[in-house]
Structure 1
Amino acid sequence: MSQEPSTPPQDPPAGIALFDLDGTLLPWDCQLLFRQHVTRREPWRILFLPLFLAALPLAPLLGTSRMKRVYHSYLRGMTTETLARHSREFAPSAVGRMHPPLLDEVARHRAAGHWLILSSASPECYVMEIGRLLGFHLALGTRIGATRLFPPLENHKGEAKTRRLHALLPSSWFGPDGRLRNSHGYTDSRADLPMLGLCEQVTLVNPSPALS
């Protein structure tokens, strides 16, 4: 079901459903799948992979955000139009790999008139396309800047997800306890604990022992 992103109405909806992407809707790392999609069409971009491999031993020092910048070095020099085209072409294959029971949950919330939010740490360029195919009202991800060798980005993870939701959603959607009214969150990741803190109900998808 294709749908353009919506502007949140001031009045709270009947319900709100928040879904993580990687490991939740999709049992794979979406960033890896997208890189494979791009390098199959532009094979020369695989030449940037050694940069990421060389940085792996330094991962504890560099941290997640810097490692993500190194990982996305394969996008160097790509135009905005080409990145958008790859994202549109990639989205259907990602949807085709998703957990059927989770897609059923998306459909259930949609049929109930709930507001659907896809919130991911993956790049927003294709998170939005995936959200559009699934009928999400709002799809949020990591916004990657100009495609330099190590593209600037703000990692959309942990507290960054909750900050963005507070910035985009009307204050009337939040109850006195700070949680979203009539909300249900879905994730597999401990990193999403801040987002789950906004939800009245929570479903853990194949959680790790640390999360469960």
Structure 2
Amino acid sequence: MALAIFDLDETLIHGDCSSLWSEHMARLQWVDAESFVKKDHELMAAYARGELAMEEYMAFTLEPMAGRTPEEVAYDVEPWVEDVIEPLIYSAATRCIAAHRQAGDRILIISASGVHLVQPIAERIGVEEVLAIDLQVLNGVYSGQTQGTLTYREGKVKRLHDWLDAEGENLEGAWFYSDSRNDLPLLGLVDKPQAVNPDPVLREHAEKHGWPIHQWQ
């Protein structure tokens, strides 16, 4: 049995769940639709260029949730996952996960999105174990802040190593599937890096190093 690790956004789903959730918060009238979505798109463009300060993005996107209970947010996330996210799940991704499960591999999603989104999406895909950006809860409500190490770039590596230690696991024979240059630190650690619909920087790196490249539709 080996670990089969998956990024989420643009790897398992055709889109970025954080940005899609920002658009949904606009529909819920939690934010000013035009200005908030415009700012979100600007920050996501910086992410695509590998220039995003994740702390800035999370502070921006979590602010509308400050003062809301996790239960209140989950109440709106659940139908959003069904209506918006489920149609975006790559069928090739579900087949890949099924093949790893059939092989007896342990499946883990590690994402640079908030756990309030990643956990229910993973459950819809059929994956129980996730590492994602944790949200601070104070006095029963979201504070609008994150907590702990952010699962982004080298932060994914740190969080994964902490998880491996806690679970008594290792990376021998491990797979990692990702679309993004931001995941090169983790892709470089595993025995079987897999580029999925890669951005230009990751594609060039994958071709140079002979990594498999998948086009999932």
TM class, shorter-length = 0.7 to 0.9
SS at match of 2:177: strand
Residues 161-212 of structure 1: per-residue CA shift (max 9 Å, x gap):
11111111248533xxxxx112111000111112212311121112122112
- Is the Cα–Cα contact under 8 Å of residues 157 and 185 in structure 2 kept in the other structure? yes
1:34 corresponds to which residue?
A: 21
Distance in 2, matches of 1:52 and 1:72, equals 13
Segments of 5+ residues of structure 2 without an aligned counterpart are: 204-217
Distance in 2, matches of 1:158 and 1:144, equals 18
CA-CA distance at 1:133 after TM superposition: 2.4
Residues 62 and 75 (structure 1 numbering): CA distance in 2 closer, same or farther, change over 3 Å? same
Percent of paired sites with the same residue: 27
Segments of 5+ residues of structure 1 without an aligned counterpart are: 1-13, 175-179
CA root-mean-square deviation: 2.8
- What is the TM-score normalised by the length of structure 2? 0.75
Residues 86 and 77 (structure 1 numbering): CA distance in 2 closer, same or farther, change over 3 Å? same
Number of equivalences: 190
- What is the TM-score normalised by the length of structure 1? 0.77
Find the partner of 2:169 among 173, 184, 187: 173
Find the partner of 1:186 among 153, 156, 177: 177
1:209 corresponds to which residue?
A: 200
- Is the Cα–Cα contact under 8 Å of residues 23 and 37 in structure 2 kept in the other structure? no
CA-CA distance at 1:95 after TM superposition: 2.9
Residues 77 and 48 (structure 1 numbering): CA distance in 2 closer, same or farther, change over 3 Å? farther
Residues 1:91 and 2:91 are matched in the alignment: no
Amino acid at match of 2:163: L
Distance in 2, matches of 1:54 and 1:80, equals 24
